[in-house]
Amino acid sequence: MPAINKDTLFAIACLLCAMVTIQSGASIAKQLFPYVGPEGTTAYRLGFSAIILCMVFRPWRRLPSNWIPIIVYGLCLGGMNITFYYAIERIPIGIGVALEFTGPLAVALLASKRKRDYIWVGFAILGIVLLLPNMGSVDGLDPVGVVLALIAGACWAGYILFGKKTGNHGSGGATVALGMSVAAIVLVPYGVISQGAALLNWQLIPLGIMIGLLSSALPYSLEMVALRNMSAQSFSIMMSLEPAIAALAGFMILAELLTPLQWCAIFMVITASVGSSMSGSKTT
Protein backbone atom coordinates (compact mmCIF):
# COMPACT_ATOMS: atom_id res chain seq x y z
CA MET A 1 0.00 0.00 0.00
CA PRO A 2 1.60 3.31 -1.09
CA ALA A 3 2.33 5.92 1.56
CA ILE A 4 0.12 9.00 1.66
CA ASN A 5 2.11 12.08 0.64
CA LYS A 6 2.17 15.33 2.58
CA ASP A 7 -0.09 17.16 0.10
CA THR A 8 -2.79 14.52 0.49
CA LEU A 9 -2.53 14.62 4.28
CA PHE A 10 -2.81 18.40 4.17
CA ALA A 11 -5.87 18.12 1.91
CA ILE A 12 -7.50 15.63 4.29
CA ALA A 13 -6.82 17.95 7.23
CA CYS A 14 -8.34 20.90 5.33
CA LEU A 15 -11.45 18.91 4.44
CA LEU A 16 -11.93 17.64 7.99
CA CYS A 17 -11.59 21.22 9.26
CA ALA A 18 -14.14 22.35 6.65
CA MET A 19 -16.69 19.76 7.76
CA VAL A 20 -16.14 20.51 11.45
CA THR A 21 -16.49 24.27 10.93
CA ILE A 22 -19.61 24.07 8.77
CA GLN A 23 -21.41 21.75 11.19
CA SER A 24 -20.24 23.74 14.21
CA GLY A 25 -21.61 26.80 12.45
CA ALA A 26 -24.95 25.04 11.98
CA SER A 27 -25.05 24.14 15.68
CA ILE A 28 -24.31 27.75 16.65
CA ALA A 29 -26.93 28.95 14.16
CA LYS A 30 -29.57 26.77 15.81
CA GLN A 31 -28.92 28.58 19.08
CA LEU A 32 -30.02 31.84 17.43
CA PHE A 33 -33.42 30.46 16.38
CA PRO A 34 -35.20 31.53 19.62
CA TYR A 35 -34.04 35.12 19.03
CA VAL A 36 -34.23 35.73 15.27
CA GLY A 37 -35.72 32.48 13.93
CA PRO A 38 -34.45 30.50 10.94
CA GLU A 39 -35.26 33.48 8.71
CA GLY A 40 -33.05 35.92 10.60
CA THR A 41 -30.30 33.35 11.03
CA THR A 42 -30.35 32.72 7.28
CA ALA A 43 -30.10 36.47 6.69
CA TYR A 44 -27.07 36.63 8.98
CA ARG A 45 -25.38 33.67 7.30
CA LEU A 46 -25.97 34.67 3.69
CA GLY A 47 -25.42 38.38 4.23
CA PHE A 48 -22.14 38.13 6.11
CA SER A 49 -20.94 35.21 3.96
CA ALA A 50 -21.55 37.23 0.79
CA ILE A 51 -19.64 40.20 2.20
CA ILE A 52 -16.68 38.06 3.32
CA LEU A 53 -16.49 36.06 0.07
CA CYS A 54 -16.75 39.18 -2.11
CA MET A 55 -13.98 40.86 -0.14
CA VAL A 56 -11.73 37.79 -0.56
CA PHE A 57 -12.42 36.81 -4.18
CA ARG A 58 -13.52 40.18 -5.70
CA PRO A 59 -15.83 38.63 -8.32
CA TRP A 60 -16.52 42.00 -9.96
CA ARG A 61 -13.14 41.72 -11.72
CA ARG A 62 -14.64 39.19 -14.14
CA LEU A 63 -18.40 39.25 -14.30
CA PRO A 64 -20.18 36.52 -16.32
CA SER A 65 -21.80 37.28 -19.66
CA ASN A 66 -24.65 34.83 -18.96
CA TRP A 67 -26.19 35.43 -15.54
CA ILE A 68 -28.93 32.78 -15.72
CA PRO A 69 -26.83 29.84 -14.40
CA ILE A 70 -25.39 32.08 -11.66
CA ILE A 71 -28.86 33.25 -10.61
CA VAL A 72 -30.29 29.71 -10.52
CA TYR A 73 -27.17 28.53 -8.67
CA GLY A 74 -27.63 31.31 -6.10
CA LEU A 75 -31.34 30.56 -5.69
CA CYS A 76 -30.55 26.90 -5.07
CA LEU A 77 -27.90 27.94 -2.54
CA GLY A 78 -30.36 30.21 -0.75
CA GLY A 79 -33.12 27.61 -0.85
CA MET A 80 -30.76 24.99 0.57
CA ASN A 81 -29.89 27.30 3.47
CA ILE A 82 -33.38 28.41 4.48
CA THR A 83 -35.04 24.99 4.16
CA PHE A 84 -32.20 23.32 6.08
CA TYR A 85 -32.52 25.82 8.92
CA TYR A 86 -36.29 25.33 8.97
CA ALA A 87 -35.64 21.56 9.11
CA ILE A 88 -33.14 21.59 11.99
CA GLU A 89 -35.51 23.82 13.94
CA ARG A 90 -37.67 20.69 14.14
CA ILE A 91 -35.23 17.74 13.98
CA PRO A 92 -31.64 17.05 15.19
CA ILE A 93 -28.83 18.40 13.01
CA GLY A 94 -27.25 15.00 12.34
CA ILE A 95 -30.50 13.60 10.98
CA GLY A 96 -31.14 16.78 8.99
CA VAL A 97 -27.75 16.52 7.27
CA ALA A 98 -28.26 12.80 6.57
CA LEU A 99 -31.59 13.51 4.89
CA GLU A 100 -30.18 16.53 3.05
CA PHE A 101 -27.36 14.33 1.75
CA THR A 102 -29.89 12.49 -0.44
CA GLY A 103 -29.61 15.42 -2.89
CA PRO A 104 -25.95 15.05 -3.92
CA LEU A 105 -26.32 11.29 -3.57
CA ALA A 106 -29.13 11.33 -6.13
CA VAL A 107 -27.01 13.40 -8.52
CA ALA A 108 -24.14 10.91 -8.25
CA LEU A 109 -26.37 7.86 -8.71
CA LEU A 110 -28.41 9.28 -11.60
CA ALA A 111 -25.19 10.12 -13.43
CA SER A 112 -24.06 6.50 -13.18
CA LYS A 113 -25.03 3.84 -15.70
CA ARG A 114 -23.94 0.83 -13.62
CA LYS A 115 -26.76 -1.45 -12.46
CA ARG A 116 -24.84 -2.34 -9.31
CA ASP A 117 -25.30 1.23 -8.13
CA TYR A 118 -28.88 0.30 -7.30
CA ILE A 119 -27.30 -1.28 -4.21
CA TRP A 120 -26.36 2.21 -3.01
CA VAL A 121 -29.87 3.45 -3.80
CA GLY A 122 -31.12 0.66 -1.56
CA PHE A 123 -28.82 1.71 1.27
CA ALA A 124 -29.98 5.33 1.00
CA ILE A 125 -33.66 4.37 0.96
CA LEU A 126 -33.15 2.02 3.90
CA GLY A 127 -31.48 4.82 5.85
CA ILE A 128 -34.44 7.13 5.23
CA VAL A 129 -36.98 4.41 6.04
CA LEU A 130 -35.25 3.73 9.36
CA LEU A 131 -35.94 7.35 10.31
CA LEU A 132 -39.62 7.22 9.43
CA PRO A 133 -41.41 4.62 11.62
CA ASN A 134 -41.48 6.63 14.86
CA MET A 135 -42.47 10.01 13.41
CA GLY A 136 -45.97 9.70 14.85
CA SER A 137 -44.82 9.06 18.40
CA VAL A 138 -44.28 11.75 21.03
CA ASP A 139 -40.50 11.34 20.86
CA GLY A 140 -40.40 10.72 17.12
CA LEU A 141 -39.18 12.97 14.36
CA ASP A 142 -41.28 15.87 13.17
CA PRO A 143 -42.56 14.86 9.70
CA VAL A 144 -42.48 18.49 8.51
CA GLY A 145 -38.82 18.67 9.52
CA VAL A 146 -38.09 15.50 7.54
CA VAL A 147 -39.80 16.87 4.42
CA LEU A 148 -37.97 20.20 4.74
CA ALA A 149 -34.61 18.39 5.02
CA LEU A 150 -35.41 16.44 1.84
CA ILE A 151 -36.35 19.69 0.07
CA ALA A 152 -32.99 21.10 1.21
CA GLY A 153 -31.40 18.03 -0.39
CA ALA A 154 -33.19 18.77 -3.67
CA CYS A 155 -31.86 22.34 -3.52
CA TRP A 156 -28.38 20.93 -2.84
CA ALA A 157 -28.71 18.80 -5.99
CA GLY A 158 -29.60 21.91 -7.99
CA TYR A 159 -26.68 23.75 -6.39
CA ILE A 160 -24.33 21.01 -7.65
CA LEU A 161 -25.78 20.83 -11.16
CA PHE A 162 -25.87 24.58 -11.77
CA GLY A 163 -22.55 25.00 -9.97
CA LYS A 164 -21.00 22.88 -12.71
CA LYS A 165 -22.64 25.01 -15.39
CA THR A 166 -21.09 28.14 -13.92
CA GLY A 167 -17.61 26.61 -14.00
CA ASN A 168 -16.50 28.63 -17.01
CA HIS A 169 -17.27 31.98 -15.40
CA GLY A 170 -14.01 32.35 -13.50
CA SER A 171 -12.59 30.79 -10.36
CA GLY A 172 -14.62 28.63 -8.04
CA GLY A 173 -14.29 31.22 -5.29
CA ALA A 174 -15.65 34.01 -7.49
CA THR A 175 -18.56 31.79 -8.55
CA VAL A 176 -19.45 31.00 -4.93
CA ALA A 177 -19.21 34.71 -4.06
CA LEU A 178 -21.61 35.65 -6.87
CA GLY A 179 -24.00 32.83 -6.00
CA MET A 180 -23.92 33.78 -2.33
CA SER A 181 -24.64 37.40 -3.28
CA VAL A 182 -27.69 36.35 -5.31
CA ALA A 183 -28.94 34.27 -2.36
CA ALA A 184 -28.35 37.19 0.00
CA ILE A 185 -30.21 39.67 -2.25
CA VAL A 186 -33.25 37.37 -2.19
CA LEU A 187 -33.28 36.12 1.41
CA VAL A 188 -31.75 38.91 3.52
CA PRO A 189 -34.82 41.15 2.89
CA TYR A 190 -37.03 38.18 3.79
CA GLY A 191 -35.19 37.81 7.09
CA VAL A 192 -35.41 41.55 7.76
CA ILE A 193 -39.16 41.62 7.06
CA SER A 194 -39.71 38.54 9.22
CA GLN A 195 -37.57 39.50 12.22
CA GLY A 196 -37.23 43.29 11.94
CA ALA A 197 -35.26 45.12 14.61
CA ALA A 198 -34.27 41.88 16.35
CA LEU A 199 -31.50 41.53 13.76
CA LEU A 200 -29.92 44.77 15.00
CA ASN A 201 -29.21 43.33 18.45
CA TRP A 202 -25.50 44.01 18.95
CA GLN A 203 -25.20 40.91 21.13
CA LEU A 204 -26.32 38.72 18.21
CA ILE A 205 -24.46 40.36 15.32
CA PRO A 206 -21.03 38.90 16.33
CA LEU A 207 -22.63 35.44 16.35
CA GLY A 208 -24.11 36.18 12.93
CA ILE A 209 -20.65 37.07 11.60
CA MET A 210 -19.28 33.88 13.16
CA ILE A 211 -21.99 31.81 11.45
CA GLY A 212 -21.21 33.43 8.10
CA LEU A 213 -17.52 32.65 8.58
CA LEU A 214 -17.88 29.10 9.94
CA SER A 215 -20.79 27.97 7.77
CA SER A 216 -19.71 29.32 4.39
CA ALA A 217 -16.63 31.49 3.91
CA LEU A 218 -14.07 29.35 5.75
CA PRO A 219 -15.27 25.83 4.79
CA TYR A 220 -15.73 26.73 1.11
CA SER A 221 -12.17 28.09 1.02
CA LEU A 222 -10.81 24.98 2.76
CA GLU A 223 -12.70 22.73 0.37
CA MET A 224 -11.10 24.48 -2.62
CA VAL A 225 -7.66 23.92 -1.10
CA ALA A 226 -8.51 20.26 -0.53
CA LEU A 227 -9.74 19.77 -4.10
CA ARG A 228 -6.41 21.00 -5.48
CA ASN A 229 -4.53 18.30 -3.58
CA MET A 230 -6.74 15.21 -3.74
CA SER A 231 -8.80 13.29 -6.28
CA ALA A 232 -12.50 13.91 -6.77
CA GLN A 233 -13.21 10.36 -5.56
CA SER A 234 -11.29 10.86 -2.32
CA PHE A 235 -12.99 14.23 -1.83
CA SER A 236 -16.45 12.68 -2.23
CA ILE A 237 -15.68 9.80 0.12
CA MET A 238 -14.38 12.16 2.79
CA MET A 239 -17.45 14.40 2.41
CA SER A 240 -19.61 11.36 3.11
CA LEU A 241 -18.56 11.60 6.75
CA GLU A 242 -20.42 14.89 7.12
CA PRO A 243 -23.69 13.47 8.57
CA ALA A 244 -21.73 11.76 11.35
CA ILE A 245 -19.73 14.93 12.05
CA ALA A 246 -23.00 16.89 12.12
CA ALA A 247 -24.47 14.45 14.65
CA LEU A 248 -21.37 14.78 16.84
CA ALA A 249 -21.48 18.58 16.61
CA GLY A 250 -25.15 18.53 17.57
CA PHE A 251 -24.34 16.35 20.57
CA MET A 252 -21.35 18.40 21.76
CA ILE A 253 -22.81 21.87 21.22
CA LEU A 254 -26.56 21.32 21.58
CA ALA A 255 -26.67 18.06 23.60
CA GLU A 256 -28.79 16.44 20.86
CA LEU A 257 -28.92 12.70 21.51
CA LEU A 258 -29.65 10.18 18.76
CA THR A 259 -31.03 6.70 19.22
CA PRO A 260 -29.08 3.63 18.00
CA LEU A 261 -31.63 3.28 15.18
CA GLN A 262 -31.02 6.86 14.06
CA TRP A 263 -27.25 6.31 14.13
CA CYS A 264 -27.81 3.19 12.02
CA ALA A 265 -29.83 5.26 9.54
CA ILE A 266 -27.03 7.82 9.28
CA PHE A 267 -24.55 4.99 8.71
CA MET A 268 -26.71 3.69 5.85
CA VAL A 269 -26.69 7.11 4.14
CA ILE A 270 -22.91 7.39 4.61
CA THR A 271 -22.45 3.89 3.15
CA ALA A 272 -24.56 4.82 0.12
CA SER A 273 -22.55 8.02 -0.38
CA VAL A 274 -19.18 6.25 -0.12
CA GLY A 275 -20.34 3.48 -2.45
CA SER A 276 -21.67 5.88 -5.07
CA SER A 277 -18.46 7.94 -4.91
CA MET A 278 -16.32 4.86 -5.52
CA SER A 279 -18.57 3.60 -8.32
CA GLY A 280 -18.68 7.04 -9.92
CA SER A 281 -14.92 7.13 -10.24
CA LYS A 282 -14.95 3.86 -12.15
CA THR A 283 -17.39 5.14 -14.75
CA THR A 284 -15.28 8.16 -15.69
Tens digit of each residue's pLDDT (9 = 90 or more) over 138-189: 556 788 998 999 999 999 888 878 776 665 555 567 888 888 999 999 999 9
Q: How many distinct structural domains can be found in the chain?
A: 1
The torsion angles phi and psi of 32, rounded to 5 degrees, stand at: -85, -15
Q: What pTM was computed for the model?
A: 0.83
In this predicted structure, the answer to whether residue 237 has a pLDDT above a threshold of 80 is no
* Rounded distance between C-alpha atoms, residue 222 and residue 235, angstroms: 12
21-56 pLDDT tens trace:
988 888 899 999 999 999 999 999 999 999 998 998
In a domain, 283, yes or no: no
Q: Could you tell me the residue range of the domain that residue 67 belongs to?
A: 6-278
CB 152 within 8 A of CB 100: yes
CA angle 235–241–247, rounded 5-degree value: 150
Within-domain flag for 284: no
Residue 64, in any domain of the structure = yes
* pLDDT, tens digit, 9 for 90 and up, residues 175-196: 888 889 999 999 999 999 999 9
Compute the radius of gyration of the chain from its Cα atoms: 18
Identify which has the larger pLDDT, 152 or 2.
152
